[in-house]
Amino acid sequence: MSKPLVSIVMGSDSDLEIMREAGKALDDFGIDYEIDVTSAHRSPDRTADYARNAAGRGIRVIIAGAGGAAHLAGVIAAHTKLPVIGVPIPSTPLNGLDSLLATVQMPAGIPVATMAIGKPGATNAGILAAQMIALADSSVAKRLGAYKQKLAAGVEEKSKKLKNALNK
Ligand code: RP5
């Protein structure tokens, strides 16, 4: 097993069902990743250490998912030069809108690439991380090309089915 290039972290194990989607996307592109829990609020020292050490361990991209106050991605971005992708988790009665705003509204100077709320966002976080890795990895770039073709073929198929069903 080679060293992970992407790190997926989340504020609580209750975020796992959603954050697994990022891992599934990375699996599709053959990218090794690690997955862990660390919290901006409950374990601030652990989170800062994790962020400071990630690049030295060979990590190239960090995907961070959190609900509630959702400061995890921003705190991690404050402690690393690696690109950070944030996934807002719908874990409060506000259904993730709170997490989206907290994750996306970073002050100038500390960017977090913020995805959609929930599973679609986690999937896109995995794909965006793959796109970053692909800049310097031709095998991942090739898989991304095949993935785009598969998406387009899926739409063609749906179009044919729709026209057949409607007899148009
Ligand atoms: C956040 O608080 C976590 O990211 C999670 O989405 C939310 C609730 O956490 P638990 O109370 O389920 O541990 O920090």
**CA torsion 49→3→72→21, rounded to 10°?**
-160
Alpha helices in the chain, H assignment, sequence order: 16-28, 44-54, 72-78, 97-104, 119-134, 138-166
For the chain, give the mean pLDDT. Answer: 97
Ligand 1 near 95 CB (within 6 A): no
Ligand 1 near 123 CB (within 6 A): no
Which of 65, 124, 141, 74 shows the shortest CA–CA distance to 96? 65
**Distance of CA 109 from the midpoint of ligand 1 (Å):** 27
- Long-range CB pairs of 20-25, under 8 A, 24+ apart, other chains included: 20/122, 21/119, 21/122, 21/123, 21/126, 22/63, 22/65, 22/87, 22/122, 22/123, 22/125, 22/126, 22/129, 23/126, 24/123, 24/126, 25/122, 25/123, 25/124, 25/125, 25/126, 25/127, 25/129, 25/130
pLDDT tens track for 65-81: 999 899 999 999 999 99
**CA torsion 36→104→60→31, rounded to 10°?**
70
Q: Which atom of ligand 1 is nearest to the CA of 39?
A: 14
pLDDT of residue 140: 98
CA-based torsion, 93, 96, 80, 142: positive or negative:
positive
pLDDT of residue 90: 98
Low-confidence ranges of the chain (pLDDT < 50): none
* pTM beyond cutoff 0.75: yes
pLDDT of residue 1: 59
pLDDT of residue 31: 98
Write the residue with the smallest CA distance to atom 3 of ligand 1.
Answer: 11
pLDDT of residue 61: 98
Structure tokens belonging to residue 30: 């053959």
**Distance of CA 112 from the midpoint of ligand 1 (Å):** 19
Q: Which atom of ligand 1 is nearest to the CA of 66?
A: 4
Mutational test site, ligand 1, from 8, 9, 10, 12, max ligand atoms within 8 Å of CB: 12
